[in-house]
Amino acid sequence: MFKKELSYYFSTPIAYIVIGLFLLAISLFLWVIPGQWNVIESGYAQVDGLFQISPWLLMLVCPALTMRLFAEEKQNGTWLLLRAQPISLWKIVVGKYMAAFVLTVLALLPCVVHYFIVFYMAEPIGNIDGGQFIGSMMGLVFLSASFIGIGMLCSTLTGSQLVAFILGAVANFVLYWVLLQDHYSSISRGVVDLRDVVLFVSVAIASIVVSIFVADRIAKR
């Protein structure tokens, strides 16, 4: 299921469009658009703006990648056919989740380019906190794990991809604002606290478990 879902992403333009827009938006905010996140205007050898912008963009990117996971199956009437195959429900749900999560991590990897640009722009060369950058990237990965889980759960609740996207974006915004923001901010400063990691992983696991429950109810209708 994981390989099938991942290959599907790369066989359709949606993944390339979403990832391309994500990377383009980050580049524009860091290097072109004037403001607090612009690296050149800040005068400091840092890419803090990357980790301040990314959570808000990921709130949209993750639901855009997960909206089709179950909504499309129900919309096309292929969900019952999928359930008829000799594969357990939890493997279907986890496989879909992992495909979207891996794709999101792949989307984050090109952001390392901004680190190396600043690395060679700094005076002296290399005068940038690499440890903080690694910790901050880990924070984005954990945050993505939570956002993907919530987005997938929203996709199980409806047969419309548009509705799934809107629900996922709103749910991610509320979850981040109410619960995850402080924990992400802690990790983005380079301080990886086990309690923060446990929270992000717990949100992801809880979303998967609830998605399995909802998907099971759909199969029994």
Lowest mean pLDDT among 2-16, 35-49, 92-106: 35-49
User: Do residues 64 and 70 touch, judged by C-beta distance below 8 A?
Assistant: no
Tell me the pTM: 0.91
What is the reported pLDDT for 131? 80
The torsion region of residue 12 among left (phi > 0), alpha (psi -120 to 50) and beta comes to: beta
pLDDT of 218 > 70? The answer is no
Tokens encoding 181: 């923001």
Residue among 56, 88, 109, 97 at smallest CA distance from 203: 97
pLDDT tens readout for residues 129-163 = 778 888 889 999 999 999 999 999 999 999 899 99
CA–centroid distance for 29 within its chain: 19
Cα torsion 136, 138, 140, 143 to 10°: value is -130
Question: What is the tens place of the pLDDT at every residue in 21-80?
Answer: 999 999 999 888 887 778 777 766 678 888 999 999 999 999 999 999 998 888 887 777
